[in-house]
Amino acid sequence: MTIQTLLVYDKPMALANLHDLLSFFSEFAVRETCNASESALLFCEEHEVDVVFIDLEMSKGLELVAAIREVKPNIIIVFVSDYSDYAVKAFELNAQDYLVKPITKKRIAITAEKLNYLIRLRQTVKSSATLTDSDLIPGKNNGRIYLLKVQDILYFTTIGRNVFAAVANGRYKLQGSLSYWEGRLPGEKFIRCHNSYIVNLSKIEYIAPFFKNAYSIKITGSTETVPVSRTFAKGLKERVRLLA
């Protein structure tokens, strides 16, 4: 298994040292190195990345983690630090590993084994739990529970802390987060188009320019529109182009 890797450091020497260490392990394919949060976030938005190694002491490092969680919640975070004192804080941010410098090959081997296991586990869970068009999911409306067929769902959205599935006759409250449903839905049929929306590709009537590289989606057979943020616009356009 190849782990698509991004390194984010604002110290050139430390960045080079980590890059050299990872080069000893065939599991890691270092796709890019960045010395600023802005370029790192842009790379994550535009490319497939499995894991990001981030220098915990770099400027805006914690803000970068929060931003990555917004656009690509499944990316694995590994913090690198000069100090062990921040380990608790790192794991509070759902980091999967924490490396204290100086880093050895033996320690990288442990990280590689851990990441391989985690990625394989995610793939197994996703493949075994992926929904099909004919599957039914429970949604609540006015105190009643209805069974919604996946192929009939127009889009999923978050309102406050709740997730809803929209069908032709209304919205139904679901259990679980939007990221949870993104992981279970068939990827060839549904796509994330906004931090708060997942849309059914077969229910798109048209996509219209909106504002500053953002778009809106007109839903077939409905007066509703769904927003497409700049973050997700490129991926949506690529998918629609492939379907055309």
Given a cut of 60, whether residue 35 has pLDDT beyond it is yes
> What φ, ψ does residue 210 adopt, rounded to 5°?
-120, -75
Residues 108 and 151 in one domain: no
Both tokens assigned to 49? 């990345």
CATH number at residue 60: 3.40.50.2300
From 100, 129, 158, give the residue that closes a domain: 129
Helix (H) or strand (E) holding 20: helix 12-22
Least-confidence region, from 12-21, 25-34, 144-153, 182-191 = 182-191
Average predicted confidence (pLDDT) for the chain: 87
- What is the average pLDDT across 13-33? 93
Say what the pLDDT of residue 124 is: 65
Given a cut of 90, whether residue 151 has pLDDT beyond it is yes
Residues 111 and 23 in one domain: yes
Under the banding of pLDDT at 50, 70 and 90, the label for residue 86 is confident
- What is the average pLDDT across 138-146? 92
Kindly report the pTM of this predicted structure.
Answer: 0.56
Domain that holds residue 7: 3-129
**Measuring CA to CA, which residue among 161, 138, 127, 134 is closest to residue 150?**
134
DSSP string computed for 176-189 = S-HHHHHHHS-TTT
**Measuring CA to CA, which residue among 27, 51, 172, 199 is closest to residue 113?**
27
b/e per residue, 72-90, with b = 16+ CB within 10 A?
A: bbebbbbbbbeeeebeeeb
Residues 124 and 224 in one domain: no
> What φ, ψ does residue 127 adopt, rounded to 5°?
-65, -35
Given a cut of 80, whether residue 142 has pLDDT beyond it is yes
148 Cβ contact partners less than 8 Å away, ≥ 6 residues apart: 136, 137, 138, 139, 165, 167, 172
Say what the pLDDT of residue 126 is: 57
- What is the average pLDDT across 1-15? 90
What share of the chain in percent tops pLDDT 90? 50
More confidently predicted of 166 and 124? 166
pLDDT in tens, 188-226: 899 999 989 999 999 999 998 877 778 899 999 888 899
Under the banding of pLDDT at 50, 70 and 90, the label for residue 20 is very high
- What is the average pLDDT across 16-37? 94
Residues 109 and 147 in one domain: no
Say what the pLDDT of residue 244 is: 47
Say what the pLDDT of residue 171 is: 95
From 74, 96, 129, give the residue that closes a domain: 129
Given a cut of 70, whether residue 108 has pLDDT beyond it is yes
Residues 24 and 90 in one domain: yes
Ramachandran area for residue 213 (φ above 0: left; ψ -120 to 50: alpha; else beta): left
Say what the pLDDT of residue 125 is: 59
Residues 145 and 96 in one domain: no
Least-confidence region, from 22-36, 84-98, 143-157, 221-235 = 84-98
